Amino acid sequence: MSQNQTLFERAQRVIPGGVNSPVRAFRAVGGTPRFITRGSGAYIFDADAKRYIDYIGSWGPMILGHGHPGVLEAVQKAALEGFSFGAPTEREIELAEEILKLVPSMEQVRLVSSGTEATMSAIRLARGATGRSKFIKFEGCYHGHTDSLLVKAGSGLATFGNPTSAGVPAEVAQHTVVLEYNNVAQLEEAFSLYGHELACVIIEPIAGNMNFVRAALPFVKRLRELCTQYGALLVFDEVMTGFRVGLHSAQGHYAQLLPGFKPDISTFGKVIGGGMPLAAFGASREIMKHLAPLGGVYQAGTLSGNPVATACGLATLREIQKPGFFDSLGAKTRQLVEGLKTVAAENGVPFSADCQGGMFGFFLLPELPQNYKTVMTTDCTRFNAFFHGMLDRGVYLAPALYEAGFVSAAHTDDDIAATLDAARRALR
């Protein structure tokens, strides 16, 4: 029996399903999860000492690859000074300043420890600031496992959402409206029905939790107009896209295409912690003044702004600001995506793919899907065969067809070439 199997059996005795976060269990693709012993640059190594080219990067944070020397040094220095104080530190100000410098839509930011906390707090802040309860989310977008966000579409626009998780009371889901991504007509109808009751609309601007689906420009434009017209706040959940799709995140990308565009509240995570538990939410001073200790919206955390996590995040943010960082990362990711398309075409496999910065997605579908329903028309048996074909050949892709992929600065041209070679053989 392989070490991975031995560990998985042992894990299942003490941890539900053997994992501490569900998608790690390989439920969708079948087989034994790989237990990782270490990472180095673009590679991770499993308990059987097998090496993989890593396209998960801890689901986004590891934009510099594993064990970047500058980040390691910052973390080691911070750890020597103390793990946690429960009192303010200068490094929290430095990280906040660094984030705000790169995201002009925000004037203030609050640091938390996970993306779930960031989006949960953003929704509470939007409700507190507007005095309204309802909000809109989109099908296929994931915003963490807060009760009111674990909701799927109801049976019609006049009905509210249904919980997607046991343990979430219908009463909690009753204020969540779930709409189809990229559907302008549905959005307009929802606003005309209850626009004045909406605290906010929360969206993944490039949805990485249904693989890789961009919010179309006319959709984002109309969404911004409607939010402004009805006094609902627009929340950009950039936990995944933040500092990953570009130095100014997805909102920077949309602001280039729609001059003057900005969301009202933004959430970040993953890259801003560089692999340590760190996330954030921010907005204008006017909105953030509602937050405790200034205002009545309560939010707190024992480990918020943790000194070791902030050191890791700061070192990471400084690296990605070096000249040419995103040009090079974007070019490498495009090289991967274009290469995969070519390999698929050579083998007559229906295939589409897209990327932005260091984030990518591919579909065993002839055209890029625009919403969750279309993403889920993918033949999962074929996807799973491709996933395992790649894994066997030392390429670690996301173990589910509805997850995005990530390239790091540590991936080399040779890694991309080896990946395409593996894909050529797997697709055959």
* Residue 145 or 388 with smaller CB distance to ligand PMP: 145
Smallest separation (angstroms) from ligand PMP to the CB of 256: 21
Cα-to-chain-centroid distance, residue 128: 25
Interior CA angle at 350 toward 345 and 354, to 5°?
Answer: 85
Nearest residue to ligand PMP, scored by beta-carbon proximity: 115
The 10 Å CB-count burial string (b at 16+, else e) for 67-96 is: ebeebeebbeebeeeeeeeeeebebbebbb
Q: E strands along 231-365, which residues?
A: 233-238, 265-268, 279-283, 352-356, 359-363
Number of shown-chain residues binding ligand PMP (CB under 6 A)? 16
Q: Is 48 a catalytic residue?
A: no
Cβ neighbourhood burial of 126 (10 Å; 0-12, 13-18, 19+)? buried
Smallest separation (angstroms) from ligand PMP to the CB of 113: 8
Q: Is 46 a catalytic residue?
A: no
Interaction pattern, residues 264-293, with ligand PMP; x per rule: CB under 6 A? -----x---------x--------------
Please identify which residue in the block is written with the tokens 């894909």: 423
Query: Would you call 204 helix, strand, or coil by DSSP?
Result: coil
Interaction pattern, residues 81-120, with ligand PMP; x per rule: CB under 6 A? ---------------------------------xxx--x-
For residue 239, state whether it binds ligand PMP (rule: CB under 6 A): yes
For residue 182, state whether it binds ligand PMP (rule: CB under 6 A): no
Interior CA angle at 407 toward 403 and 408, to 5°?
Answer: 135
CB atoms closer than 10 angstroms to residue 280: 31
Task: Catalytic residue, from 270, 396, 402, 415: name it.
Answer: 270
* Residue 119 or 384 with smaller CB distance to ligand PMP: 119
Q: Which of 91, 127, 134, 143 binds ligand PMP (CB under 6 A)?
A: 143
Residues shown for the chain = 428
Q: Is 270 a catalytic residue?
A: yes
Smallest separation (angstroms) from ligand PMP to the CB of 420: 27
* Residue 375 or 426 with smaller CB distance to ligand PMP: 375
Stretch touching ligand PMP by CB under 6 A, among 77-85, 236-244, 293-301, 392-400: 236-244
What are the angstrom distances between the C-alpha of 337 and each of 110, 208, 407, 420? 35, 15, 11, 9
* Residue 91 or 143 with smaller CB distance to ligand PMP: 143
> Using CA atoms, how far apart are residues 196 and 291, in angstroms rounded to an integer?
23
What are the angstrom distances between the C-alpha of 343 and each of 123, 351, 421? 43, 10, 9
Q: Which of 237, 264, 354, 415 binds ligand PMP (CB under 6 A)?
A: 237
> Using CA atoms, how far apart are residues 78 and 61, in angstroms rounded to an integer?
19
Smallest separation (angstroms) from ligand PMP to the CB of 182: 16
Stretch touching ligand PMP by CB under 6 A, among 141-149, 171-179, 290-298, 369-377: 141-149
Interior CA angle at 245 toward 242 and 407, to 5°?
Answer: 110
**199 to 228, contacts with ligand PMP by CB under 6 A?**
204, 208-209
Q: Which of 8, 26, 35, 59 binds ligand PMP (CB under 6 A)?
A: 59
> Using CA atoms, how far apart are residues 234 and 274, in angstroms rounded to an integer?
26
Task: Catalytic residue, from 43, 46, 54, 237: name it.
Answer: 237
Catalytic residues: 142, 237, 270
Chain positions contacting ligand PMP, by CB under 6 A: 59, 114-116, 119, 142-144, 204, 208-209, 237, 239-240, 269, 279
